[in-house]
Amino acid sequence: MQGKKRAVWTALFAALLCAPALAEAGAETTQAGYDWADLGTVAGAAAAVLLIVQYTKKALDKFKKFPTRLYVYILSLAILACARLLGGGLNWRDVPLLALNAVVAATSAMGAYEMAYRKGDENAGEETDENAREETKQE
């Protein structure tokens, strides 16, 4: 049951992160999924990073322990750089902006993860503490 809740929260936050990217793409975009213009936005990159990390982190940890925050940043930078390269060309003057946008996308993806997973765990802990207090009062 806990896994289903997490999957629903992940899908919800990914959809919320994609909304600005899809709005920027305009009304003529009717395809399902991503294109390079969507991934070139911070919101689109953050949503993609969130989903990719969720599906690949455990497999990566089996081979080598790698810091998750660094993995998220590198993935954000790679997605934004590929989107810029394939969407219209990458100039050297764009690299500092891509690095900064990758920080924003990585922070957004990590924040969405924290809101979806950690917040639910904290509330569950509070409920069990209240239940434990009530049980001790009844005894």
pLDDT at 134: 57
What is the distance between the alpha carbons of residues 2 and 119, in angstroms, rounded to a whole number?
Answer: 13
Question: Given this model, what pLDDT does residue 39 score?
Answer: 84
Domain edges within the chain? 2-138
pLDDT tens track, the chain, 139 positions: 566 777 666 766 666 666 666 566 555 555 677 788 888 889 999 999 999 998 998 888 888 888 889 999 999 999 999 998 988 888 888 889 999 999 999 999 998 888 887 755 555 555 555 555 555 555 5
Distance CA 8, CA 6 (A): 5
Q: Which pLDDT belongs to residue 21?
A: 60
Does residue 116 sit in helix, strand or coil? Answer: helix
Please give the structure tokens belonging to residue 14: 């990914």
Whole-number pLDDT of residue 10:
72
- Coil, helix or strand at residue 24: helix
Radius of gyration of the chain (CA): 19
What six digits make up the tokens of 39? 């991934």
With a threshold of 0.75, does the pTM exceed it? no
